[in-house]
Amino acid sequence: MEDVKRMALLGEKFPSMEVVTTHGVKKLPDDYAGKWFVLFSHPGDFTPVCTTEFVSFSKKADEFKKLNTELIGLSVDQVFSHIKWIEWIKDKTDVEVPFPVIADELGRTASALGMIHPSKGTNTVRAVFIVDDKGVVRLIMYYPQEVGRNVDEVLRSVKALQTADKNKVAVPENWPNNPLIGDKVIIPPVATEKLAKERLEQAQNGEIECFDWWFCYKKL
């Protein structure tokens, strides 16, 4: 793995690294060129909260694929432990884990991505990195070991990011179920007085909706 000086920040390229997974050796982000991916870490195999997350991610895997998005798990356990735990999940819950899980035994990947927080122990916290099809980090989430993630929120975030990119808009809180503007999207604010006036004229003509010139929105 490359020597990473600090974790990648939003808008930066995901650091190049070679990792050992339950699906063999992979190079990140190169092996996922042209695809989005969600890399998420869990504190440890054979633990209850992590098991519930893996079941949920597995059940939603096809929905992520429809968004051209792959899932990748990670913990500091050995690959043998990952394989046995995946077998256990299939045997006990009848859910098959379809995505690779990184075996980060030495903690290099976790350290490079800021997944190990000393005050929370030596295992990885529940980190989520959403990386776009150009290998750029677009969203980062951290959860403590004692609180499981909301997989639907991760899926919603991918949809929101892709919608924002495709339509050059922003999306509101809890889109597409925002209590103020519903499933509508926010039009980027203007930067001149002339454009502000034009924006309000557009609203008067019914082309868009506005609370004011700086807060306008529309239906896709």
Domains and CATH numbers, the chain: 17-150 (3.40.30.10), 168-220 (3.30.1020.10)
pTM greater than 0.85: yes
Q: What is the pLDDT of residue 135?
A: 97
Active site residue 50: yes
Active-site option among 17, 39, 50, 103? 50
Cβ neighbours around 77 below 10 Å, total: 22
124-170 pLDDT, tens per residue?
A: 778 999 999 999 999 999 988 889 999 999 999 999 999 999 999 99
Residues 6 or more apart whose CB falls under 8 angstroms from that of 28 comprise 14, 15, 16, 17, 18, 19, 39, 72
Task: Look at residues 39, 38, 26, 100 and name the one whose alpha carbon lies nearest to residue 69.
Answer: 38
Q: What is the pLDDT of residue 108?
A: 84
Length of the chain: 220
DSSP string, 193-218: HHHHHHHHHHHHTTSSEEEETTEEEE
191-215 pLDDT, tens per residue?
A: 999 999 999 999 999 999 999 999 9
Q: What angle do CA 168, 134, 66 make, to 5 degrees?
A: 75
Q: What is the pLDDT of residue 122?
A: 61
6-63 pLDDT, tens per residue?
A: 678 899 999 999 999 999 999 999 999 999 999 999 888 999 999 999 999 999 999 9
Q: What is the pLDDT of residue 2?
A: 42
Secondary structure E strands in 100-136: 101-103, 126-131
Range 102-129 average pLDDT: 80
